[in-house]
A and B are shown apart, each in its own frame.
Chain A
Amino acid sequence: MTTTNQPTLREQVEDFLFREAALLDDWLLDDWVDLFTEDARYVVPTTDLPDGDPKRDLVFIDDDITRLRARAVRLNSRHAHREYPWSRTRRFISNVRVRETGNGELSVNSNVLVYRFRAGEGAPYVGSVDYVLRRDGKDFKIAHRRAVLDMEALSWHGAVSIIF
């Protein structure tokens, strides 16, 4: 029996996702945006249409890299009033599944729970985040990030004001 210290593919991906979660919880949004490819997309469908296609349907968020950068600029600006002062968040990532899809790309599914605390209240965002990751040397880049909320409505937070 041989043992190896080589991390498995899933462990590598998990390390990447945990690093991403830490950047978001620490509000290091410029560093977070740097995880994306130039042709990336960040999509959050509405709660009533989790399969929504941003080309055809109304979604909450459909950012290309330009709008993603603008989102970071906005959240860093102190004028995104829902998030200034910043909320405290804590992210829990689990149930990570990884599939190689060829061309150096990985299809990744994860379960995500984010607690958000602000202005005397706290509540979770719950859902799954699916990624297309592209290999970048020893690391990965995010080519697609689709975050699907399980809640029936935005009843607790009133908005998707943080990055879910």
Chain B
Amino acid sequence: MEIKDLIIDDRQRGIFRVHRSSMTSDDLFQREREQIFSRCWIYLGHESEVENPGDYRRRTVAGRPLFFARGRDGQVRVFLNSCPHRGALICRRDAGNTDVLQCFYHAWSFNTNGELIGVPDQEAYGPNFDRDELGLKEPPRVESYRGFYFVNFNPYAEDLVTYLAGAREYLDLIVDQAEEGMRMVAGSNKYTMKANWKLLVENSLDGYHLVPTHQTYLDYISGLGSDDSGQTASSRIVGKARALGNGHCVIESPVRSGRPIAHWHPLFGEEAREPIARVRQRLVDKYGEERTFRMADTSRNLIIYPNLVINDIMAITVRYFEPLAPDNMEVTAWHLAPREESESMLATRLDSFLTFLGPGGFATPDDVEALESCQIGFRATETQWSDISRGMLRPAKSTDELQMRGFWRQWHANMQGLSHTNVQDAPVEETEAALVLADD
């Protein structure tokens, strides 16, 4: 099957289908590595993970072993984790603090700026042996936006901010919730799903599955009492879905439980009412009612194409997934929190995270099961197509699948060697109208 035929996108009839070989084929997996993971901006880490000079973190990104470090000059640098001598891993711990990284194989040593500072028995090399040429290699491009670091293995890629397109505003909406910036909480959720990585993209943006798949979570939350804060009529908001350009997509939904910023819920306890009200007031003073409403009373699931998900829901989770094979991926998820948050508010936020999120939470295990179940189902190869048509002929709600189509269209363009797609769901105009109070 040719790549151009992998997707059926019939905007007149409102039919969108994806051929399942896109999630099972080794050839297409290899092609993704070249066309997507070697050309797009890929998330690496957050500045707060290397807070102090000498801090470093190791990570696998787009198949490459990398590490990033804050130099003595305070600057964050990213390195390919392979010795310029003959290849051994330079950084062999997941995190730490050091001035010097020494390769254990032949003991070349490097500083956290990547410079080669020590070569045992250097006299054995000829006069053309130049230490300056043999420092640690960096990815062709490294850029950050508001604390989030990305790498790009295409030297000619457009800059990160241009690449982020409409997703930039959503990142702002999340980071602006903090007064003194955001940080990653210590501890990460690392787990494997035996499923194609694109299934997790879909799942992370899937408002349709919430009620059927996560019934046990919804029962648990409603058993704790309902939101009587009187702050909003958010239960009457209809959520919406948006494609943000370059494959980035978002769903925005009414708040179902609480948000530590800045929407109280019985789950948080009475003692949290007052601090949450203060945060809300600060946001109103700084950003006005409307933007505060969006920050506090709506939640959003955002995908930064291709493999970064930020769910700003009952807490903020940053989730990155590394494809390992057509039917396997490793997921790492972190918890993003405002730096200034008090001990007790942080505890509330952490608690809120755990009700739903993470592989020990009340929802994520069910998502793992759903995705692995799809992947096994794909072995029934006679069922060739998956249907992603929902809401194609109406202004998309958060329970529709416009956001997934936005992702898939970008994927399809990239796989054909095109960098952009400007195709939207026609003929329906995307309108802001979806995010208003419903009549009922």
Contact = CB atoms under 8 A, between A and B. Distances in A.
Contacts of B192: 153-156, 158
A80 interface: yes
Interface stretch (B40-48, B362-370, B410-418): B362-370
A57 B191 contact: no
A80 B366 contact: yes
Interface in A38-81: 44-49, 52, 54-62, 67, 70-71, 73-74, 77, 79-81
Interface residues of B, number: 40
A57 B188 CA distance: 9
Given A81-B370, A156-B192, A158-B193, A74 B187 contact: no
B215 interface: yes
Contact of A48 (B190, B362, B369): B190
Given A60-B360, A160-B360, A46 B370 contact: no
Nearest to B186: A57
| Chain A contact residues, majority secondary structure | loop
Contacts of A152: 190
B189 A46 contact: yes
B366 A47 contact: no
B368 A67 contact: no
B188 A46 contact: yes
Q: Chain A, interface size: which category? A: 35 or more
Contacts of B335: 58
B204 to A, nearest CB: 15
B16 interface: no
A58 B185 contact: yes
Which of A58, A152, A154, A155 gathers the greatest number of chain B CB atoms within 10 Å?
A58
12 contacts: A47-B190, A52-B186, A56-B343, A59-B360, A67-B355, A74-B216, A74-B362, A82-B366, A154-B189, A155-B330, A158-B365, A159-B359
Given A56-B346, A59-B354, A77-B215, 17 more contacts: A44-B360, A46-B190, A57-B185, A58-B186, A58-B187, A61-B354, A62-B350, A73-B216, A74-B219, A74-B362, A80-B366, A81-B369, A82-B369, A152-B190, A158-B192, A158-B359, A161-B368
